[in-house]
Amino acid sequence: MDIAVKSEQVLETETEFREYLKRMSNYQEALGLIGWDLRTGAPKKGAAQRAEVIGTLSADVFKMAVSKEMEKFIETLSSEEAQSNLDDVTKSSLYQCKKTFDKQRNIPEDEFKNYVILTSNAESIWPEAKDTGDFAMFLPYLEKIVAYNRKYTDWVGYEGNRYNALLDDYEPGLTVETLDRVFGELRDRLVPLVKAVQESDSKPETDFLFTHFPKDKQEQLSRALLEQMGYDFEAGRLDTTVHPFAAGLNPNDVRVTTKYDEGDFRTAVFGTIHEGGHALYEQNIDEKYIGTPVCSGTSMGIHESQSLFWENFAGRNKAFWEKNYGLLKENSNGQFDNISLEDFYRGINVAGPSLIRIEADEMTYTLHIIVRYELEKALINGDLEPRDLPEAWNDKMEEYLGVRPQHDGEGVLQDVHWSGGAFGYFPSYALGYVYAAQLMAAMRKDLDTPFEGLLREGSLKPVKEWMTERVHKFGRSKQPLEILQDTTGEGINPKYLIDYLEKKYSDVYELNR
């Protein structure tokens, strides 16, 4: 009798809690739509007032996440008796809410408010600092942002290295210990590969990459490729933007954006496939998680593994173009008529050291990230001061990539992340590559038809389904490292990525001939 009564109370609290989450999630969905709109053609004069709307809705979400009511929900539903009565959606939701609540409640309100203003100002001045390469202009902001992030690690707590507190925000469970090992291996084996590729005499032809490709034909091609990947256009749409992204408003409304450069079709083709990979993740989260904080990708790294898997392991695979080179030619103006498939394949895989991360190829990309990781870790641990960043940056770029920026605009100031205080974010990008290669290897073992065979036929359904069953459907109900372990039988292992890159670039650059 007593237990029955208690269970009824739990049930009631669970229902209230889920209603509360639904409300938060509805505000967030509105915010998601506003964000998408602002980046896909919202009139610029309306942006200032739209910021007010964002302010109101964000404050609602924030207040609800740290409210007395939330505290009560967490307390009631965390009891042993409650736990044994909760369904898995509520349990996973509670876990996410508690994590947010515990972190937020230790941050002094005043410090947080000032920090929001600080980063907002820093983001405003950053473009000018970057464009003029003026690090001195940015330094006072950066110093305060780093100081806050050091304090933040104390407020929210950490085990081992102080930087772990920041990693956990983007990649739950990830530690410096792991990253040092993983990035160390990557660095040690990629630096020689980059050198070998640079010294190769067999460079791909690339002229055809830059021939005129009309925008409307690129759009047709982009749509056809998304269809082939299994992107559901009834639960999404494709638009154009300046900095492409995918927006998951809910699993039935996940939007892809892309950019058409008529002088370089790769921007749209690989950009669309990349964002399409993110979108497939969000479209295939189990619908039972709708209206809860579980209904999104489990981490930045796993999200990036999906986009990079599609962009590189599928989209830059020769077999993919055996299927799609004809489609590309149909949608073009005849500029590929004299380019063989082999030359096309080598051309789209041209690689080499460069200064700018967002323009880097898959061979060098992770090295750009390792530079940032090592600098961030040193900054947060007090082993490096912000004023010494430019020198440290340039030295590392020279050491790992063999190139040295001429000014800070193409060096330490190139990325927006630090102006927004996003320390701990960069490693996710590299982990995305590592995860993607591990998932690729595991998938190969499970597929009935070899992966390249599927690409050649354009039958990508088994690929999407494999990812959905092992990654997508769980949303945030499984932790990133749990997904990796369950799917591949091991932890983070960079060997698969390195082997793949060595094999691929030996082929493209004919290193072994």
Question: Which positions lie near a second copy, rule CB under 8 A?
Answer: 22-23, 26-27, 29-30, 33-34, 37, 41-46, 48-50, 52-53, 55-57, 232-237, 249-250, 252-253, 255, 290-291
Nearer to a second copy, 279 or 501 (CB): 279
Which residue has tokens 């392991």? 313
Nearer to a second copy, 56 or 83 (CB): 56
Side chain identity at 274, as an amino acid letter? Answer: H
Which segments within 216-339 are labelled E, that is strand?
A: 238-240, 246-250, 253-258
Q: What span, in angstroms and rounded, lies between the C-alpha atoms of 445 and 448? A: 8
30: helix, strand or coil: helix
Closest CA to 40 of 255, 206, 201, 341: 255
Long-range contacts (CB closer than 8 Å, 24 or more residues apart) made by 364-368 = 364/190, 364/194, 364/401, 365/429, 365/430, 365/433, 366/183, 366/186, 366/190, 366/429, 366/430, 366/433, 366/434, 366/497, 367/186, 367/187, 367/190, 367/191, 367/194, 367/400, 367/401, 368/401
Q: What span, in angstroms and rounded, lies between the C-alpha atoms of 504 and 478? A: 32
Residues 6 or more apart from 470 whose CB is under 8 A from it? Answer: 439, 442, 483, 486, 487
Closest CA to 124 of 419, 408, 418: 419
Nearer to a second copy, 20 or 208 (CB): 20
Torsion angle of the four alpha carbons 434, 270, 30, 475, in this order, in degrees rounded to the nearest 10: -30
Sheet holding 246-250, edge to edge: 238-240, 253-258, 246-250
User: Min. distance of Cβ 237 from a second copy in angstroms?
Assistant: 6
User: Min. distance of Cβ 37 from a second copy in angstroms?
Assistant: 6
User: Min. distance of Cβ 145 from a second copy in angstroms?
Assistant: 29
The question of whether 275 is a catalytic residue gets the answer yes
Q: What span, in angstroms and rounded, lies between the C-alpha atoms of 238 and 220? A: 11
User: Min. distance of Cβ 255 from a second copy in angstroms?
Assistant: 8
User: Min. distance of Cβ 253 from a second copy in angstroms?
Assistant: 3
Instruction: Give the chain's end-to-end CA distance (angstroms, integer).
Output: 79
- Is 304 annotated in a binding site? The answer is yes
- Of the residues 275, 311, 374, 376, only one is catalytic, namely 275
- Is 274 annotated in a binding site? The answer is yes
User: Min. distance of Cβ 232 from a second copy in angstroms?
Assistant: 7
Nearer to a second copy, 145 or 238 (CB): 238
Catalytic residues: 275
Binding residue positions for Zn(2+): 274, 278, 304
Binding residue positions: 274, 278, 304
